[in-house]
């Protein structure tokens, strides 16, 4: 499902440990990729990435100005371009982080069983997803937006989604009897629901309690996947 042309980013320093989200980001990709960052430099890089998330959150990717990011990061324009070759470049760095974490998360999804344990496992996983989502939602949103994709992010973006879905599809396929004809489509539907609901929850389009949200999502999904209803 992933696109073969992944690897475009080869050459750039890859992340080693992505446990601590934004604060651990190391992906640089600045104009001089080879630059080795000292602790000072790493701090500045982190400041910029964190600031970008904040600004993307406030104004969205398009409306975010380099100026805003730089102001929030308490640094200068010049410095920005010391670390990133462009606004897009920074975005790509962020997206690489998110992608990695999302794929890792998708692999954490346990087999989903029909019983209470399966339900609970699903719910627990959703909670993790939501945690990730709420941290990175400005990036994820921008990424979902095709407008951004235009700028060669396809190679990266689609890959992320692909990788993420691979994990889910595997689990849906395991379900027996198959609840739907096409597990791939079902997995996509799951992703759609979870992603968008998370979005609604994050932006508080309607106030929702975390617990209620998780219960509802888990119930609908679990029922949806296992509910062999008698339709007569």
Partner DNA sequence: CATGAATGAGAATTCATTCAT
Partner DNA sequence: AATGAATGAATTCTCATTCAT
Does residue 107 touch a second copy according to CB under 8 A? no
CA atoms within 13 A on the CB side of 13: 19
Q: Which residues in the 184-213 window bind a second copy by CB under 8 A?
A: 184-186, 188-190, 192-193, 195-197, 199-200, 203, 205-206, 208, 212-213
Return the C-alpha torsion angle 20, 22, 28, 30, nearest 10. -170
Q: Which residues in the 6-35 window bind a second copy by CB under 8 A?
A: none
Is residue 99 classed exposed, middle or buried when 0-12, 13-18 and 19+ CB atoms within 10 A define those classes?
A: buried
Q: Which of 7, 33, 115, 210 binds a second copy (CB under 8 A)?
A: 115
Binding site for DNA (CB under 7 A): 31, 35-38, 40-41, 43-44, 63-67, 74-82, 85-88
Q: Which is nearer to a second copy, 19 or 231 (CB)?
A: 231
Does residue 38 touch a second copy according to CB under 8 A? no
Q: Which of 60, 65, 128, 210 binds a second copy (CB under 8 A)?
A: 60
Q: Which residues in the 117-156 window bind a second copy by CB under 8 A?
A: 118-119, 141, 145-150, 154
Q: Which is nearer to DNA, 52 or 168 (CB)?
A: 52
CA distance 156 to 185: 21
* 84 CB-near residues (< 8 Å, 6+ apart): 28, 29, 30, 31, 48, 90, 93
> In this structure, are residues 67 and 48 in contact, taking their beta carbons and an 8 Å threshold?
no
Min dist CB 65 to DNA, Å, is 3
- Stretch touching a second copy by CB under 8 A, among 9-17, 36-44, 93-101, 160-168: 160-168
Q: Which is nearer to a second copy, 24 or 199 (CB)?
A: 199
Min dist CB 150 to DNA, Å, is 11
CA distance 43 to 79: 12
CA distance 215 to 184: 24
Min dist CB 159 to a second copy, Å, is 10
Q: Rule CB under 8 A: which residues touch a second copy?
A: 1-3, 59-63, 114-116, 118-119, 141, 145-150, 154, 158, 161-162, 165, 179-182, 184-186, 188-190, 192-193, 195-197, 199-200, 203, 205-206, 208, 212-213, 215-217, 219-232
């Amino acid at each position: 499902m992933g696109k073969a042309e992944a690897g475009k980013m080869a050459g750039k320093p890859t992340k080693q440990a992505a446990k601590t989200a934004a604060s651990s980001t190391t992906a640089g990709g600045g104009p001089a990729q080879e630059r080795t960052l000292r602790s000072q430099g790493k701090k500045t890089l982190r400041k910029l990435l964190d600031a970008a998330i904040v600004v993307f959150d406030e104004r969205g990717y398009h409306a975010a100005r380099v100026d805003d990011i730089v102001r929030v990061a308490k640094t200068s324009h010049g410095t920005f371009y010391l670390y990133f070759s462009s606004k897009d470049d920074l975005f790509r760095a962020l997206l690489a982080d998110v992608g990695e974490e999302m794929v890792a998360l998708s692999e954490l999804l346990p087999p989903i069983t029909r019983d209470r344990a399966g339900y609970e496992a699903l719910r627990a996983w959703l909670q993790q997803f939501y945690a990730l989502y709420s941290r990175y939602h400005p990036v994820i949103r921008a990424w979902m937006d095709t407008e951004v994709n235009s700028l060669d992010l396809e190679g990266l973006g689609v890959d992320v989604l692909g990788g993420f879905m691979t994990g889910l599809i595997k689990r849906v396929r395991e379900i027996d009897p198959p609840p739907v004809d096409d597990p791939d489509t079902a997995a996509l539907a799951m992703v759609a629901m979870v992603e968008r609901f998370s979005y609604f929850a994050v932006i508080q389009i309607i106030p929702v309690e975390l617990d209620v949200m998780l219960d509802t999502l888990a119930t609908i999904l679990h029922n949806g996947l296992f509910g062999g209803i008698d339709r007569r």
